[in-house]
Amino acid sequence: MSVAVVEAEVPGPPGAPRARMMLGRARWAATAFAQFDRDRTRRVVSAVADAAYQNAERFALQAVEETGMGVPEHKRRKNEACSRGLLERYDVGDYVDARIDADAKIVAVPKPAGVVLALTPSTNPIATVYFKVILALMTRNAVVVSPHPLARQVSVDAVRLLADAAVAAGAPDGCLQVVEEPTIPLIEALMADRGVDVIVATGGTAVVRAAYRSGNPSLGVGPGNVPALVDATADVAKAAACLAESKAFDNSILCTNESVAIVEARVADALARELDRQGAHVLDEQEAQRARETLYPEGRINTDLAGKDAATLADAAGIRVAPGTRALVAPFPLIVPEEPLALEKLFPLLGLVRVPDAVRGIEAARALLRIGGAGHSAVIHSRDPRTILAYGAAVRVLRVAVNAPGSTGASGLDTNLAPTMTVGTGFFGRSALTENLEPRHLTQWTRVAYHSDPSEPFGDFGGLEPWAVQPEAAPVAAPAAPDGAELTREDLRRLILDELRELAVR
């Protein structure tokens, strides 16, 4: 069975030998894969995407069971979006075929990065595995997946399945591997090894910073802390529905979910009533204090409650809520660093702050992003283009979802942003990735540029495929036997070697 799996790390020295073994195999696969044309690549990607899609529900259930975080139905939706959804969004040929610009006299030839090390999180384990694997294969890269220990088994099972599908469809054996027993020495050795061409890191700040310190090219993301401005022109009922839906989606485990709703005072009471109608329980002052103490003990997020539902949060804090409550809403007076409710939230809790007007609301959003979430995402509910544009220009983030749920809007599921499980935070967030990760970020282009002088003609490249075309070889004349004598064994040997050399060039 052609499954690429790393067995348990045995006690001993750091994991450099194991890392070299994995990456050597991946390098061989990447070299072979880089020669695939569009049709061969598409067959591999389609087979993997189909296998992923068909097992989306199975792995969603397994992920919730193993990690204790999230909602199976919502994870299934993310898994489906990151399997066949990616195939519907992107054309494999865009990352395999040459691009010919006759006017500029430039031929651009796509080349894979090579070997991708994909670090995946516990919060969105399978959607992120699917996403990174399919992007890597779509761009003809080999990929080594290193899952978070809390989601180890489900991630290993998923990569095994996808590896089998890839090899059965003709992919080079070794193009998809997984670290079955992740250990710190092995992961550090993988990240630092020169056999890695690029690290794609999704996880906590420590993981991303370690990737950047590794010395290898890295694409990492930062934490979210999403402000959601609701101005006086907003459709308040729709805004409340979006906020409640987003906070309930996968129990707010996506880093794109709203952290604090910043509401103009003249619509704040109406929004609170609508939130209650949507199953978002608005806490009173005493309940909000209990939420602070329980969900942010000593001013830090209670990770044991990450990804748990609103009823679990309420029960932990001793708060009584109606059956079917989808989220908790905690009003607080001021966005300042010492306020725990102004921190990132990975559970269905929404902070709420009132502001006199949209101008003060924009300033409040900027203050929230100074506390955390720089470069990540923001949300606005408004029907005023001036306010929307002013907000987008002022907040130090790279994506703003307008009149849409933050969880699924900024990640591209409910907007026309690129669908992604890796949200770049750019220079604001100390990241090299300035947008949602796409296949093009794992592709390099060699540009063959002619002299710009009009007298220099541009060649005819029509019908030529970069991975199949070769210069015409000069004809090889058979050596003549002297005086009509028969060819010797040495003559035959030279003929065979010449023929083999020509085949190797092809």
Average pLDDT value for residue range 32-42 = 96
Q: Which of 469, 452, 458 is nearest to 107 (CA)?
A: 458
The angle formed by the CA atoms of residues 90, 375 and 416, to the nearest 5 degrees, is: 30
State whether the Cα torsion 494-500-504-506 is positive or negative: positive
Q: Is pLDDT at 506 greater than 70 in this prediction? A: no
Confidence band, pLDDT 50/70/90 cuts, at residue 12: very low
The pLDDT value given to residue 463: 87
Q: Is pLDDT at 345 greater than 90 in this prediction? A: yes
Q: Is pLDDT at 2 greater than 80 in this prediction? A: no
Q: Is pLDDT at 79 greater than 70 in this prediction? A: yes
Q: Is pLDDT at 127 greater than 90 in this prediction? A: yes
- How far is CA 21 from each of CA 24, 261, 316, rounded to the nearest angstrom? 5, 50, 47
The pLDDT value given to residue 499: 66
Structure token digits, residue 375: 């470069």
Amino acid residing at 155: S
What is the distance between the alpha carbons of residues 94 and 111, in angstroms, rounded to a whole number? Answer: 11
Confidence band, pLDDT 50/70/90 cuts, at residue 483: low
Confidence band, pLDDT 50/70/90 cuts, at residue 5: low
Confidence band, pLDDT 50/70/90 cuts, at residue 9: very low
Q: Which residues contact 84 (CB under 8 A, 6 or more apart)?
A: 49, 50, 52, 53
Average pLDDT value for residue range 307-313 = 97
Q: Is the pTM of this model over 0.75?
A: yes
Average pLDDT value for residue range 7-19 = 58
Average pLDDT value for residue range 435-463 = 96
Task: Determine which helix (DSSP H) or strand (DSSP E) holds 176, and give its type and residue range.
Answer: strand 176-179
DSSP codes of every residue in 33-90: HTT--HHHHHHHHHHHHHHHHHTHHHHHHHHHHHH--S-HHHHHHHHHHTTHHHHHH-
What is the distance between the alpha carbons of residues 238 and 245, in angstroms, rounded to a whole number? Answer: 10
The pLDDT value given to residue 19: 83
Mean residue pLDDT of the chain comes to: 92
Average pLDDT value for residue range 416-442 = 94
The pLDDT value given to residue 221: 84
Q: Is pLDDT at 209 greater than 50 in this prediction? A: yes
- C-alpha distance across the termini of the chain, in Å: 31
The pLDDT value given to residue 11: 45
pLDDT in tens, 105-123: 999 999 999 999 999 999 9
Are 195 and 23 in contact, with CB atoms under 8 Å apart? yes
Are 67 and 151 in contact, with CB atoms under 8 Å apart? yes
Average pLDDT value for residue range 143-165 = 97
Are 358 and 229 in contact, with CB atoms under 8 Å apart? yes
- How far is CA 445 from each of CA 395, 440, 459, rounded to the nearest angstrom? 33, 10, 19
What is the distance between the alpha carbons of residues 279 and 282, in angstroms, rounded to a whole number? Answer: 9
Q: Is pLDDT at 344 greater than 80 in this prediction? A: yes
Are 144 and 190 in contact, with CB atoms under 8 Å apart? yes
Average pLDDT value for residue range 240-250 = 98
pLDDT in tens, 314-325: 999 999 999 999
Average pLDDT value for residue range 317-341 = 97
Q: Is pLDDT at 13 greater than 50 in this prediction? A: no
Q: Is 338 exposed, middle or buried (0-12, 13-18, 19+ CB in 10 A)?
A: exposed
Percent of the chain with pLDDT over 90: 82
Are 260 and 413 in contact, with CB atoms under 8 Å apart? no
Percent of the chain with pLDDT over 70: 92
Are 313 and 306 in contact, with CB atoms under 8 Å apart? no
- Give the domains, in start order, of the chain with CATH numbers: 5-221+438-444 (3.40.605.10), 226-409 (3.40.309.10), 470-506 (no CATH)
Confidence band, pLDDT 50/70/90 cuts, at residue 16: confident
Of residues 185 and 276, more confidence is placed in 276
At 313, is the secondary structure helix, strand, or coil? helix
Of residues 462 and 8, more confidence is placed in 462
